Amino acid sequence: MKRLSIVFIALALLLLAACGENAEEIKNVNKLYDLSYEISAYENIKITTEKEKYTADDTIIRYTITNASEEDGWINSSHDCFTLHKKVDDVWKRVGTKIEHAWTDMALCLPAGESETREIKLDDYFYLPLEKGEYRIVVENLVSNTFEIE
């Protein structure tokens, strides 16, 4: 009986050690998710990143939302309201985050011809460095230009 207990304890420890290693590997990866619908850009409200190319060492991406129309437009008021997409085999996939972040449904009026600049502190949301490739930022249904991470 004593031997059987020791065997069960040893197996339990091995199982925990194996799970811990897998959990650590999974924890440090930004998982890619299929998009459930296609997102298209709005004609008069544009999102433009500060640069077209970023290095793997960059930790901040700044982007500007511009209302290029002659009428007031509406955007989400939360600076946390974004998703990052990566192009894989000509298909856009959402990059999973290391934390769950939620955003408000509060709308912010962006007057005609006005802009608002926001920034994403990458290390707050993602495991760095991000993989090399082509990316875009999406704020609700507003799509940014594409940019490279080298």
Per-residue model confidence (pLDDT) at position 8: 46
Residue 4, burial from CB neighbour count under 10 angstroms (0-12, 13-18, 19+): exposed
Range with the poorest average pLDDT among 2-6, 29-33, 41-45, 112-116: 2-6
Would you say residue 41 has pLDDT above 80? Answer: no
Interval 49-55 mean pLDDT:
98
User: Which residues, 6 or more positions from 81, have their beta carbon under 8 angstroms from its beta carbon?
Assistant: 103, 104, 139, 140
Nearest CA to 47 out of 61, 32, 64 is that of 64
Interval 63-86 mean pLDDT:
90
Would you say residue 9 has pLDDT above 70? Answer: no
What is the pLDDT of the chain when averaged over all its residues?
Answer: 83
Interval 37-47 mean pLDDT:
81
Would you say residue 82 has pLDDT above 50? Answer: yes
Residue 129, burial from CB neighbour count under 10 angstroms (0-12, 13-18, 19+): middle
pTM listed for this prediction: 0.77
User: What does the alpha-carbon distance between residue 147 and residue 84 come to, in Å, rounded to a whole number?
Assistant: 11
Per-residue model confidence (pLDDT) at position 7: 45
